[in-house]
């Protein structure tokens, strides 16, 4: 089982910026209501620029049971984020969670 389904730390730790072309109304898959325009070419997931950040698509409680309301349609930074990576470990530490087993 993936640690991601019981974590969500990355979704409540980082700003998520991505190309405007990933939006549904531009031919992509990210639902329009969950992102805001940053520039003419860049979008940002709602909630990820708040302090503390928490993606608007995130459901559940961090470190318990968590989910992404748009998992199948999530933007590229989310699809490319790796469980156990340095960024994953930093996000988990910020939320008081231990590193994923096998991660440095």
Q: Is residue 47 assigned to a domain?
A: yes
Q: Is residue 69 assigned to a domain?
A: yes
CB neighbour list of residue 9: distance below 8 Å, 6 or more residues apart: 62, 63, 88, 91, 92, 94, 95, 97
pLDDT digits (tens, 9 = 90+) for 78-103: 999 999 999 999 999 999 999 987 54
Segments of the chain scoring below 50 in pLDDT:
1, 103-104
Q: Is residue 78 assigned to a domain?
A: yes
Q: Is residue 48 assigned to a domain?
A: yes
- pLDDT score, position 6: 80
Q: Is residue 104 assigned to a domain?
A: no
Q: Retrieve residue 4's tokens.
A: 């991601």
Q: Is residue 22 assigned to a domain?
A: yes
- Residue in 22, 20, 2 with CA at minimum distance from that of residue 76: 22
Torsion over CA of 93, 96, 98 and 100, rounded to 10 degrees? -60
- pLDDT score, position 102: 56
Number of domains into which the chain is organized = 1
Q: Is residue 100 assigned to a domain?
A: no
pTM: 0.88
Quote the domain boundaries for residue 62: 3-94
Q: Is residue 102 assigned to a domain?
A: no
């Amino acid at each position: 089982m993936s640690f991601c389904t019981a974590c969500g730390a990355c979704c409540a730790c980082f700003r998520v910026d991505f190309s405007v072309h990933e939006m549904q109304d531009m031919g992509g898959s990210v639902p329009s209501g969950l992102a805001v325009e940053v520039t003419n070419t860049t979008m940002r997931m709602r909630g990820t620029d708040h302090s503390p950040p928490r993606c608007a698509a995130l459901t559940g409680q961090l470190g318990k049971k968590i989910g992404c309301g748009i998992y199948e349609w999530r933007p590229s930074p989310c699809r490319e984020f790796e469980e156990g990576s340095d960024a994953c470990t930093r996000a988990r530490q910020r939320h008081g969670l231990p590193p994923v087993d096998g991660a440095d």
